Amino acid sequence: MKRRQFLKGAGAAAVAAGAMTSTTAQAAPEFKWKMVTTWPKNFPGLGTGANYLAKLINEMSGGRIKVKVYGAKELVGALEIFDAVSRGTAEMGHGAAYYWKGKSRAAQFFAAVPFGLTAQEMNSWLYHGGGMELWEEIYAEFGLVPGAAGNTGVQMGGWFNKEINNVADLEGLKMRIPGLGGEVLKRAGGTPVLLPGGEIFPSLQSGAIDATEWVGPYNDLAFGLHKAAKYYYYPGWHEPGTTLECFVNKEALEALPKDLQVIVRNAIRVANQDMLADFTAKNNRALEQLVTQHKVELRKYPDEVLEKLKALSDEVVAEEAAKDPKTKKVFESFVQFRDQAVKWHGVSEQAYLNARTLS
Contacts (CB under 5 A) with Ca ion, residues 8-37 = none
User: In the bound complex, what is the minimum distance in angstroms from residue 326's beta carbon to Ca ion?
Assistant: 25
Residue pair 134/330 in contact (Cβ under 8 Å)? The answer is yes
Instruction: Label residue 112 left, alpha or beta by phi (over 0 means left) and psi (-120 to 50 means alpha).
Output: beta
Contact 241, 153 (CB under 8 A): yes
Range 85-124, binding Ca ion (CB under 5 A)? none
CA distance 137 to 134: 5
Q: Which one, of 192, 230, 231, 236, lies nearest residue 214 by Cα?
A: 236
Helix H or strand E encompassing 262:
helix 258-288
Site for Ca ion in 220-239 (CB under 5 A): 239
**How would you label 2-32 residue by residue, b for 16+ Cβ within 10 Å and e otherwise?**
eeeeeeeeeeeeeeeeeeeeeeeeeeeeebe
Nearer to Ca ion, 131 or 216 (CB): 216
Stretch that binds Ca ion, among 88-96, 153-161, 267-275, 323-331 (CB under 5 A): 153-161
Closest approach, Cβ 352 to Ca ion, in A, equals 26
Q: Closest CB to Ca ion among 57 and 96?
A: 96
Nearest to 338 by CA among 117, 111, 108, 106: 117
Nearer to Ca ion, 104 or 212 (CB): 212
Q: In this structure, are residues 204 and 159 in contact, taking their beta carbons and an 8 Å threshold?
A: yes
Interface with Ca ion by CB under 5 A: which range of 41-49, 81-89, 154-162, 221-229? 154-162
Of the two residues 43 and 70, which places its CB atom closer to Ca ion in the complex? 43
Least spacing, CB of residue 155 vs Ca ion, in Å: 5
Task: Choose the binding region for Ca ion from 6-14, 94-102, 155-163, 283-291 (rule: CB under 5 A).
Answer: 155-163
- Could you tell me which of 157, 159, 147 has the C-alpha nearest to residue 114? 157
CB of 158 to Ca ion, least distance (A): 8
Q: What is the DSSP code string of 133-185?
A: HHHHHHHHTTTEE--EEEE--S---EEESS---SGGGGTT-EEE--HHHHHHH
| Cross-strand pairs, 247 | 93
Q: How far is the CB of 322 from Ca ion (least distance, A)?
A: 25
What string marks each residue from 239 to 268 as x (binds Ca ion by CB under 5 A) or -?
Answer: x-----------------------------
Judged by CB under 5 A, the number of residues near Ca ion is 2
Backbone angles phi and psi of 219, in degrees to 5: -75, -35
Among 35-43, 152-160, 223-231, 269-277, the segment contacting Ca ion (CB under 5 A): 152-160
Q: How far is the CB of 120 from Ca ion (least distance, A)?
A: 19
State the minimum distance, in angstroms, from the CB of residue 239 to Ca ion: 5
Nearer to Ca ion, 155 or 283 (CB): 155
Catalog residues that contact Ca ion under the rule CB under 5 A: 155, 239
